Amino acid sequence: MYALPFLDLPPLARAGGTVKLPGSKSISNRVLLLAGLAEGETRVHDLLDSDDTRVMLEALRTLGCGINHDGKVCVVRGLGGTLAVHEAKLLLGNAGTAMRPLTAALALLAARDGGRFELSGVPRMHERPIGDLTESLRQLGCRIDDLGTPGYPPLGVSGPSALALLQPIRVRGDVSSQFLTALLLALPLASNQGAMTIEVQGELISKPYVEITLALLARFGIAIEREGWQRFIVPANSAYRSPGDVHVEGDASSASYFIALGAIAATKKPLRIEGVGHDSIQGDIRFIDAARAMGAEIRTEANAVEVKRGAWPLKAITLDCNHIPDAAMTLAVMALYADGPTTLANIASWRVKETDRLAAMATELRKLGASVQEGPDWLTVSPPAQWHAAAIHTYDDHRMAMCASLAAFGGVAVRVLDPACVAKTFPDYFETLFKVAQAEPNDVPVITIDGPTAGGKGTLAAAVAERLGYRLLDSGSLYRVAALAALRAGLMDAEPLDEATIAALAAKLPLSFKPGRIRLGQEEVTEALREEAVGVAASRVSALPAVRRALHELQLSFRRAPGLVADGRDMGTVVFFDAPLKVFLTASAAQRAARRHKQLISKGIPANIDSLRADLEARDLRDTTRTVSPLKPAQDAQLLDNSDLSIEQSVEKVLEMWSARRPFL
Ligand code: DC
Residue range 50-71: mean pLDDT, rounded: 95
* Confidence tier at 516 by pLDDT (50, 70, 90): confident
- Is ligand 1 within 6 A of the CB of residue 539? yes
Q: Distance (Å, rounded) from C-alpha 95 to C-alpha 424? A: 8
Active site residue 498: no
- CA 417/CA 254 separation, integer angstroms: 19
Instruction: Give residue 281's pLDDT.
Output: 92
Looking from the CA of residue 626, the nearest atom of ligand 1 is 15
Q: Average pLDDT in the 20-41 region? A: 96
Check whether 433 has a pLDDT greater than 70.
yes
> CATH classification of 25-247 is 3.65.10.10, yes or no?
yes
| 122-136 pLDDT, tens digit each | 999 999 999 999 999
Does 592 sit in the ligand 1 pocket, CB within 6 Å?
Answer: no
pLDDT at 480 over 90: yes
Rounded to whole angstroms, the Cα distance separating 535 from 331 reads 54
What's the gap in Å between 661 CA and the centre of ligand 1?
28
**Residue 480 CA: which ligand 1 atom is closest?**
6
Q: 29, 52 in Cβ contact below 8 A? A: yes
Residue 461 to residue 567: CA distance in whole angstroms: 6
Q: Give distance in angstroms: CA of 477 to centre of ligand 1.
A: 7
Which tens digit of pLDDT belongs to each residue from 229-282? 999 999 999 999 999 999 999 999 999 999 999 999 999 999 999 999 999 999
Q: How high is the pLDDT of residue 623?
A: 86
Decide if pLDDT at 313 tops 90: yes
Question: For 657, phi and psi rounded to 5 degrees?
Answer: -60, -40
Is the minimum distance from the CB of 182 to ligand 1 under 6 angstroms?
no
**What's the gap in Å between 515 CA and the centre of ligand 1?**
19
Mean pLDDT of all residues in 55-64: 97
Confidence check: pLDDT of 40 > 80: yes
Atom 9 of ligand 1: nearest residue by CA position = 539
**Lateral strand order in the sheet of 143-146:** 87-91, 115-120, 155-159, 143-146
Q: How far apart are CA 155 and CA 167, in angstroms?
A: 25
Distances (CA, A) of 77 to 39, 68, 81: 7, 9, 12
Instruction: Please name the amino acid found at residue 543.
Output: A
Task: Answer yes or no: are the C-beta atoms of 417 and 395 closer than 8 Å.
Answer: no
Q: How many residues does the chain have?
A: 665
Choose the CATH number for 6-22+250-438 among 3.30.70.100, 3.65.10.10, 3.30.70.330, 1.10.3720.10.
3.65.10.10
Q: Are 143 and 177 in contact (CB under 8 A)?
A: no
Beta carbons of 231 and 198 less than 8 angstroms apart: yes
pLDDT for res 665: 65
Is residue 158 a contact partner of residue 187, using CB atoms and an 8 Å limit? no
Task: Please list, in sequence order, all residues whose beta carbon lies within 8 angstroms of the beta carbon of residue 286, skipping any fewer than 6 positions away.
Answer: 208, 323, 324, 327
CA nearest neighbour of 259 among 302, 297, 212: 297
Q: Quote the pLDDT of residue 632.
A: 92
Query: From the CB of 620, is ligand 1 less than 6 Å away?
Result: no
Question: What per-residue confidence (pLDDT) applies to 165?
Answer: 81
Residue 270's H or E segment, with its range, is none
Hey, whose CA ends up nearest to atom 14 of ligand 1?
569
Pocket test for ligand 1, best of 532, 569, 574, 584 (most atoms within 8 A of CB): 569
Which pLDDT score is estimated for 453? 85
Averaged pLDDT for residues 147-176: 93
Give per-residue burial for 249-267: e unless 16+ CB within 10 Å, then b: bbbbbbbbbbbbbbbbbbe
Ligand 1 atom 2: residue of nearest CA: 476
Give me Rg for the CA atoms of the chain: 30
Neighbour order of strands in the sheet with 318-320? 318-320, 342-345, 378-382, 371-374
Sheet holding 390-392, edge to edge: 6-9, 414-417, 390-392
Q: How many angstroms separate the CA atoms of 347 and 359, rounded?
A: 12
Arithmetic mean of pLDDT over the chain = 95
Asked if residues 35 and 44 have their Cβ atoms less than 8 Å apart, the reply is yes
Give the percent of the chain with pLDDT over 70: 100
* Phi and psi at residue 29, to the nearest 5°: -70, -30
**Same fold flag, 6-22+250-438 and 25-247:** yes
Q: Which CATH class is domain 441-659?
A: alpha beta
pLDDT at residue 194 is higher than 70:
yes
List C-alpha distances in Å: 662 to 371, 428, 654, 655: 24, 25, 13, 11
**Residue 469 φ/ψ, nearest 5 degrees:** 75, 20
What whole-number distance in Å separates Cα of residue 403 and Cα of residue 300? Answer: 23
Q: So what's the pLDDT on residue 70? A: 85
Q: How confident is the model at residue 318 (pLDDT cuts 50, 70, 90)?
A: very high
Residue 661 pLDDT greater than 80, yes or no: yes
> Which position among 132, 326, 474, 567 bears the catalytic label?
326
136 touches 108 (CB < 8 A)? no
For residue 483, how many other CB atoms are within 10 A of its CB? 26
3-class DSSP state of 116: strand
Ligand 1 center to 485 CA (angstroms):
15
Task: Give residue limits of the domains in the chain.
Answer: 6-22+250-438, 25-247, 441-659
Nearest residue to 157 (alpha-carbon basis) of 211, 101, 207, 203:
101
How does pLDDT run across 581-623, given as a tens digit for each residue? 999 999 999 999 998 899 889 988 889 999 999 988 988 898 8
pLDDT at 505 over 90: yes
> In testing the pocket of ligand 1, which one of 475, 484, 530, 622 has its CB within 8 Å of the most ligand atoms?
475
CA-nearest residue for atom 18, ligand 1, is: 568
365 alpha carbon – ligand 1 mean position (Å): 45
CB-based burial of residue 491 (10 Å sphere; 0-12 exposed, 13-18 middle, 19+ buried)? Answer: middle
